[in-house]
Amino acid sequence: MAIDQGLRRLALGTLLAAFPGFEAPGWALDLLGDGLAGHTLFGYNIDSRTQVAALTAALRSARADALIAIDEEGGDVTRLGHRTGSPYPGNAALGVVDDVELTARVYAAIGADLADAGVNLDLAPTVDVNTADDNPIIGTRSFGASPLLVARHARAAVEGLQSAGVAACAKHFPGHGATLADSHLELPTVDAPLSVLRERDLPPFAAALSARAIMTAHIRVPALTGDDPATFSRFALTDVLRGEYGFRGVIVTDALEMKGAALAAGGIPQAAVRALAAGADLLCVGAQVDAELVSAIVDEIIAAVGDGRLAPSRLEAAVSRTAEMARWSATPHARGDHDAGLGVAAARRAVRVEGSLAGLESPLVVQVSSGYSIAEGRVPWGLRPHLNGTEQVEVAAFSTSASALIEQAAGRPIVVVGRHLHRAPETRSLVEKLAAAHTVGVVEMGWPSSWRPAGSRAFVTTHGASLANGRAAAEALGLTAS
């Protein structure tokens, strides 16, 4: 049966694909020429600023108005800085400083970096209200636990990014901050009445309506989405976000390869159709994409139009909104000057010290290894790049002992550096034993908790683990060269 090429082009116009490597393969360029909306870049696409600028130029040679997206949140989630860590603190640090002008400046700087690299859609800022202290996927990506604080910084972040001509995408609607599960791995549920959602989770999205895009969450919120994830809920996307809140920009899905979407729909192509039917405009396929997967998604969309699951007008509206965002990003925008010291200066303001740093001079620095979320990926963190000759060791809490570390310290104080130190019982026990028997300071670079090890001399909270956060912590401890 002959394929309707006009319908195929419309279907492609709703997709953000991806590809491996530092250069775009032929199929990725061909799809852009055929109408693909664009591609998302990941760390595996980025080797250097010069290389990524050449890559984005090659993509635009195939389609001048291509959307080139990236997850560049600053802080713990960075793609441009995936080899070193971000030069900017993330949202938790900006939230604790609570200076909206600083937030706007940091995001304008991120936007300028992205514009220089040829990226025109940032899948940021994260505007979830992190009310679950042990949230495994949001945490330091959030501005905080207060809806009003998050709302004012959401607005500032959007304005900052878009001042550089980079479209902002506020995420993850209707709010991923109250979950204790990761939607990359399963379908989390937020079982709260609509009244709570309106007071706690939704205000930041209302504040971010000037964003060119808003991203959906693969979370189930029975009061709002019924049994479906929000990405598949027409009530959530069309009735609430568009109808009640009046959002006129592009509704982008979180990656459809995530278990919270793909398993719920029975596959990525089926998830694409359900998201479009609910009101999504631009479908982020994910990181593991090839030509065959794109073809399968397009075939399913075309079939859905044929059997009535999807109206042609729904596709046309989606592509129209996406094209409008691409046109906006192509309009010249004035960019601010790059301030090399901005990130560290902002991170310094977020450092909080409890207790006294006296007596922690010339320590043995012990970094406790930790995992990473899929959103973060494996990005360097800690104090090592900033230490001026100070010895550092990295240990796994389950395979070392307090007595062994005290012996290695040889009379020096110990500074323990970690992320979410309280979460693992063996890590908590190790730090508590050290603090009870030795002179110890603690640097927490994850989302702060109420846990404090008895006997520790000082507890330092950075509110993030970016390169800038590490520098600020090392400075506070007097461990840098200057």
Over the stretch 408-429, which tens digit does the pLDDT of each residue have? Answer: 999 999 999 999 999 999 999 9
Nearest-angstrom CA–CA distance, 204 and 157: 11
Q: What is the pLDDT of residues 46-86, one digit of tens each?
A: 999 999 999 999 999 999 999 999 999 999 999 999 999 99
- Mean pLDDT score, 426-440: 96
Which of the following is catalytic: 39, 153, 176, 184? Answer: 184
Do 410 and 474 meet the contact criterion of CB atoms below 8 Å apart?
A: no
pLDDT band at 25 (very low <50, low <70, confident <90, very high): very high
Q: What is the pLDDT of residues 145-156, one digit of tens each?
A: 999 999 999 999
- Mean pLDDT score, 425-448: 96
Token pair 């910084």: residue: 153
Termini Cα distance of the chain: 70
% of the chain exceeding 70 in pLDDT: 98
> What is the structure's pLDDT at 335?
67
Predicted TM-score (pTM) of this structure: 0.95
pLDDT band at 248 (very low <50, low <70, confident <90, very high): very high
Residue 185, token pair as written in the block: 């791995």
pLDDT band at 184 (very low <50, low <70, confident <90, very high): confident
Can you state the angle between helices 100-117 and 49-62, rounded to 10 degrees? 70
> What is the structure's pLDDT at 338?
73
Do 249 and 213 meet the contact criterion of CB atoms below 8 Å apart?
A: yes
Nearest-angstrom CA–CA distance, 170 and 188: 20
- Mean pLDDT score, 243-251: 97
Checking if the pLDDT of 197 tops 60, the result is yes
% of the chain exceeding 90 in pLDDT: 88
Bigger pLDDT: 334 or 223?
223
- Mean pLDDT score, 231-235: 97
According to DSSP, the β-strands at 364-368 and 414-418 are parallel
- Mean pLDDT score, 165-181: 93
Residue 336 Cα distances to 107, 310, 326, 357, 478, angstroms: 11, 43, 21, 38, 32
> What is the structure's pLDDT at 482?
59
**CB count in 10 Å sphere of residue 334:** 7
Which of the following is catalytic: 254, 281, 422, 438? Answer: 254
Checking if the pLDDT of 163 tops 70, the result is yes
- How many residues are present in the chain? 482
Do 123 and 284 meet the contact criterion of CB atoms below 8 Å apart?
A: yes
> What is the structure's pLDDT at 337?
61
pLDDT band at 334 (very low <50, low <70, confident <90, very high): low
The reply to whether 254 belongs to the active site is: yes
Span of 103-107, 256-260, 287-291 with lowest mean pLDDT: 256-260
